[in-house]
Amino acid sequence: MTYRYGDNRLPQIVIIGAGFAGLELVKRLNNTPYRVVLLDKHNYHTFQPLLYQIASAGLTAESIAYPLRRKIGSFPNVIFRVAEVTSVNTESKKVQTNIGDFDYDYLVIATGATTNFYSNDQLAKLTYTLKSVPEALEMRSAILKQLEAAVQVAKKQDEHPLNFVIVGGGPTGVELAGALAEIKKNVLPADYRELDPSKMEIHLIEGAPRILPTMQEGSSAKAKRYLEKMGVQVWLNAIVKDYTGKQLVLANDKTIAADHVIWTAGVKGATLPGIPAETIGKGNKYRTNRFNQLIGFENIFVLGDIATIEGDGNYPNGHPGVAQVALQQAKQLAGNFTRLHQQKPLKPFAYKDLGSMATIGRHKAVVELPFISFGGYLAWYVWMFIHLMALVGFRNRFMVFVNWMWNYFMYDRAHRIILNNSGKS
């Protein structure tokens, strides 16, 4: 069955993916002379920068996931379907899904990124990842189960080390390492009195010469000092070769004992079957021109982490994988759809860097703005405020604020419930 909705005189835009780019574009296409179809395999939008707080028991899943229909339900020209895209037929202009086919006049691909294991199937099978709410909940359960298992062998803690290993020193890895260090400091002494907190080890593995390699060297150095002060062992220039399920093996053949390894080391584009292979470039991302059009197609646009804009001299290796890129591209494309309707020339995308930041723990963060860089208390408060305001919906902001205040005053991560009894094998 092929679906086409609303007034047939209006062109139909199909948007695949309800991440930052997809949802922002839908909001800006509300009440425009287009029929808009939003497709996503989940019925909610995820605020990915805070997934690590679900994994570390600081927040509930509901506080960073927002129901899509609540946001777009009142938009008269927009419909949403929970669907998994199986293929795209660019000749017949159809998006094929598990619930049927959708015609499009214009297609927008905003599928984001997925974890890159660099062709190592063992790592893909045995490590934990953090790209979605289900993965965050699985990781939280794995962390808590590891603590429970450690209690059972508390008297043999030297024989059964309580090690947590995070591979990848980008913002996600750094923030998760800091969160685990706060669990070690505040949760273990209160809830796991049989364990010696000093025996819990947190290892952060980074293949580059410094953590947070996309930020300035000063910010990287501050973050490293913060982590080491919190008891995290930071490994630099350390390339992972393999993981056996019990031992992480580095390229220099050094090993780290670890029952659980968290992989945040790389991403690649989440491409779709049916899109010509010649449009895929470095990082498994789609190649686009400066109007976000897929190379070779005037009616297919690509936004966010899945896109690499060619011909942008300021970013020859692609734009950073941050929410601001996706949001700004969505805003620009919405304006270009208006220009298309008015038969005016399209405007090229130009990214405005608003800065970057990472939090390490209580009163510890680094912030880089276009005009200043700083760390410590102020950076931590700025990080919290910006992330709080960026959440979708007042209810989510309120829930996150209440949880943060509880954690701040009570030194407690309250959402320590094991929901998933399965695990990596």
Do 375 and 150 meet the contact criterion of CB atoms below 8 Å apart?
no
C-alpha span between 369 and 356 (Å, rounded): 7
DSSP 8-state assignment for residue 188: H
C-alpha span between 188 and 97 (Å, rounded): 47
C-alpha span between 130 and 294 (Å, rounded): 28
DSSP 8-state assignment for residue 294: B
C-alpha span between 57 and 182 (Å, rounded): 11
CB-based burial label for 348 (10 Å; 0-12, 13-18, 19+): middle
Do 319 and 309 meet the contact criterion of CB atoms below 8 Å apart?
yes
Q: Is 394 helix (H, G, I), strand (E, B) or coil?
A: helix
Q: Which helix (H) or strand (E) holds 27?
A: helix 20-28
Q: Give the rounded distance of the alpha carbon of 254 from its chain centre.
A: 30
Amino acid at 389: M
Question: Which distant-in-sequence residues (6+ apart) come within 8 Å of 164 by Cβ?
Answer: 143, 146, 180, 200, 201, 202, 203, 258, 260, 262
Per the listing, tokens 């659980």 go with: 260
Catalytic residue from among 138, 175, 201, 368: 175
Reply yes or no on whether 138 is catalytic: no
Token reading at 28: 């800006």
Do 35 and 13 meet the contact criterion of CB atoms below 8 Å apart?
yes
Best CA proximity match to 17, nearest among 51, 36, 50, 42: 42
Best CA proximity match to 127, nearest among 226, 256, 273, 253: 256
Which residues form the catalytic set?
A: 175
